Chains A and B, each alone.
Chain A
Amino acid sequence: MRDRRLAALLRAIGDESLDRREFARRAVALGAAATTVAGLLAACRPVGDDVASAERATRDAAAALEPLGPIEPHLSIYNWSDYVAPDTIPNFEREFGVRVTYDVYESNEELLAKLLAGARGYDLVFPSSYALSVLVATGLAAPVHRAYLTNWGNVAPLFLNPAVDPGNAHSVPWQWGITGLAYRADKVAPPESWSVLQDVRYAGKMTQLDDGRDVIGSWLRFRGHSLNSRDVGELTAAKADAISAKRNLKAYLSAPVKGQLISGDVWIAQLWNGDATQARAEQPAIEYVLPREGSTIWADNVVIPRSAPHVRAAHEFMNYILRPEVGAAISDFTGYGTPNQQALARMEHPVPYPTAEQLRRLEYQIDLGRDTAEWDQLWTEIKSA
């Protein structure tokens, strides 16, 4: 016990700036409890922060070519609930003789907080694009050994080489979708533009997602700006638009809005396309439109955390989900699009890839780095308005 504390203290002294060194020196004087505190302070830093990212990329590229060991008998998946087809896991377990533990999280942020704090034991995680960029930037994503992915050729070109993970060095695309407007065709005309949310005729019958990035992003697009803007003028205008729309909104509501669309309490909702598809199964009058000013395209990805204990089994799972029939079953179950072009042809309810014209209006959310806190301040001000 003492040794471990001492080691932590030495680490804290060794790789920190002068301030921390001074802090740690005082901690020694204060005794064991304070030592623990000093070690904890050191522990809060993202794990791989100390290596320059370029250097890490070179090292990872080399590591990705090395062979892996035999398939481990166990695999720990950390994902959203119900985000695979019911038979995906049992079939994998049977075929590969691997026992799978499936744990669930509620949001990308929960996943990031745990991995950044240093939680271990997970072999596969499923971050959205912007969360993937954080995992890559902090060195928490392990390099993918492409040699083990014999089905890699099935991935549609559209999803290769994303900006958040150049060359797909750390990720395999999983599901994709867009954020647009779902509406009740029996109550309203198709809402072509985000401006419908400012239309008082539908006051109290409309919702936007409960997510600052999505709400501010929609109003940035409305004025023709990038939804990743960091320009103060553009953001101020977006805030004003968001506030004027807020007066008409019934609520900021994410996935649970499906029920309200079905019941007719809500007529127009900012929503993901997969969710609109699910709701339409219950209420055929629900339609979906991509506003003409444009919106978000998103993709969730499969990533192996650097601390993963079962790397080979994780690669086998990645390769397994790239099989056409497996990918098709998953996307048929989730209602979202598959990045697997061979799977697309086999789906019962295929979600077609965006056309070239639509792609020009779609943007991926990029992680905002240090500006994240400024965006949050805007979001707080919108909610308090």
Chain B
Amino acid sequence: MGTSGIGKLPRWLVAFTAACLFLMHLPVLVLVAFSFNSSKFAVTWTGFTFGWYRRLLERDDILHAVQASLIVGVTATAIAVALGTLIALALARHRFRGRTVYEGMMYVPIVTPEIVTGISLLVLFVFLRLPLGLTTIIIAHVAFCVPFVVVVVVARLAGMDENLEEAAMTLGADEITTFFRITLPLLWPGILSAALLAFILSFDDFVITSLVAGSGSSTLPLVIYSMVRRNVEPSINAISTLIVIATSILLYASDRMSRRNEPANA
């Protein structure tokens, strides 16, 4: 790990990255600030309040929606990452008839306007008599997340060193053992990237979700978009702030833990 480390990078590169990250978080800072603003509209600063956080306690609908969004996001991400990684392995490591066409087809769901995917799935679910709800939302989310996972993992696999795997097999491990012991750890950064992408896609999806959701399964984006007709209440800023803080703590903790394990791996 000799040449890595932020200190060795050119100054301008670090400054540029810091500026980009700052700009990306600027809207989030504004959003957080308005969660403490006493005004109903996110327009002018009228005074400090914790009122929108207290209001959350009365808003069962928002809390229920956050729960639904998390269930959908985690489940859909897990399934999409599993299915997508297998497809990526086949595409990057195997020659088979129709491989190029197959890979090209993977981009079709990405370009399909969401409303088309949403309406066609709604017609399918109604035809199959599947009751609309969390299950149908998860099915739909997996379908639109898989191609993203495939593209990211294929990029990771491209040109990856296969010597380690061949060595493991020479030493007597079968394909499945080799996959879990060697390939998966090597793939990990790609899988992590894909999972993050899939989760933010699922967590923030409105158009498709609105069409395949049923009674009792409104996710957070559905509640927020529905508020636009009147006014998006700052309690939405409050819940967004809480989600960001909770995520940060979780990520910081997991980072600390993995760092503690790092010397053993190095």
Contact = CB atoms under 8 A, between A and B. Distances in A.
A/B: CB atoms within 8 Å of each other: yes
Interface of A: 4, 8, 36, 39-40, 43-44, 76, 78, 80-83, 86, 101-107, 110, 113-114, 117-122, 254-256, 258-260, 262-263, 275, 278-279, 281-282, 334
Interface string B220-243: 001101111111010000000000
Contacts, number: 109
Interface in B195-236: 206, 210-211, 213-218, 222-223, 225-231, 233
A119 B231 contact: no
Contacts of B227: 81-82
Nearest to A261: B43
10 contacts: A4-B129, A39-B127, A105-B222, A106-B210, A119-B132, A121-B215, A254-B229, A259-B43, A282-B39, A282-B40
Interface of B: 39-44, 46, 58, 61, 119, 122-124, 126-127, 129, 131-132, 206, 210-211, 213-218, 222-223, 225-231, 233
A122 B231 contact: no
Contacts of B122: 113-114, 117, 119
A269 to B, nearest CB: 14
Nearest to A82: B230
A106 B216 contact: no
Contact of B41 (A76, A119, A258): A258
Contact of B226 (A44, A105, A260, A278): A105
Given A104-B223, A113-B119, A80 B230 contact: yes
A40 B127 contact: yes
Interface core residue of B39, B43, B222, B228 (most chain A CB under 10 Å):
B43
A275 B229 CA distance: 9
A106 B211 contact: no
A48 to B, nearest CB: 14
A278 B233 CA distance: 13
B211 A81 contact: no
A122 B230 CA distance: 23
Contacts of A39: 127
